[in-house]
Amino acid sequence: MAEYTQAETGGTLQRPEGIRGIAADLSSDQRAFKNVSWGKAMMWIFLLSDTFVFGCFLLAYMTARMSTPVNWPNPSEVFALEIGGQELPLILIAIMTFILISSSGTMAMAVNFGYRRERGRTAALMLLTAVLGATFVGMQAFEWTKLISEGVRPWGNPWGAAQFGSSFFMITGFHGTHVTFGVIFLLIIARKVWRGDFDTERRGFFTSRKGNYEIVEIMGLYWHFVDLVWVFIFAFFYLW
């Protein structure tokens, strides 16, 4: 049936390369992106829309920061942590960054083992990814608690421009929500992989369709995107 033609047409249909390939993909009455399955294409399009959402958040933050005459709090000091009697600038954010990057690494390997149909390894790596993601959210909760106890609110903070508070809670809050949903998504797919749903072609409880290992890659796209967004937040919010 139609849903099984994915990922196979590319091998049989020889398509031109480069700009001619794009023209061939988008012209005539045919499906664009050829051997890219609808699931993967739709995840990419969702991620594109999410890119605009996060783009607008960072833009709003830039506009707020550039248009205020009041001093912007120094993120390096705000997010410093005292470890062993020594004040380390931005250390919590750095650790969170490393944890998220590591979770992306384990996810990429899970995708690889998924296509090799190594159920155990795939599920284990996805679980590890979920644990790292949950750790990230936990550290973010700690960061929020610390800042709230120091008097940071969406309408103000003790160190300067009030817009700092609203930008902080909006941007990190929206990103944390994405990570949380990602962890849930990871656990659902890891369970399906572990149970062997994609080997026995068990039908999904919601869609009644047979899944395949490509869902691990699609899940991975979402997870890497969360890491990708953090790269920009790290640069623009914490380092600027």
Shortest Cβ 94–other proteins spacing (Å): 5
Q: Which residues, 6+ apart, have CB-to-CB distance to 40 below 8 Å?
A: 214, 217, 218, 221
Q: Which of residues 158-177 bind other proteins (CB under 8 A)?
A: 162
- Report whether 187 contacts 130 (CB < 8 A): yes
Among 10-18, 131-139, 168-176, 186-194, the segment contacting other proteins (CB under 8 A): 10-18
Q: Which is nearer to other proteins, 103 or 149 (CB)?
A: 103
For residue 48, give Cα distances in angstroms to 43, 81, 138, 160, 236.
Answer: 9, 35, 27, 34, 20
> Contact at 8 Å (CB) between 210 and 202?
yes
Considering beta carbons, is residue 82 or 149 the nearer one to other proteins? 82
For other proteins, the closer CB: 47 or 81: 47
The CA-atom distances, in angstroms, between 31 and each of 44, 53, 107 are 16, 27, 29
Q: Are 125 and 37 in contact (CB under 8 A)?
A: no
* End-to-end Cα spacing for the chain: 52
| Site membership for other proteins, residue 84 (CB under 8 A) | no
Q: Does 131 bind other proteins (CB under 8 A)?
A: no
Residue 7: CB minimum distance to other proteins, A:
4
- Which parts of this chain interact with other proteins (CB under 8 A)? 4, 7-8, 10, 17-19, 21-22, 25-26, 32-36, 41, 44-45, 47-48, 51-52, 55, 59, 62-64, 66-70, 76, 89-90, 94, 97-98, 101-102, 104-105, 107-109, 111-112, 115-117, 162, 201, 212-214, 217, 220-221, 224-225, 227-228, 231-232, 234-235, 238-240
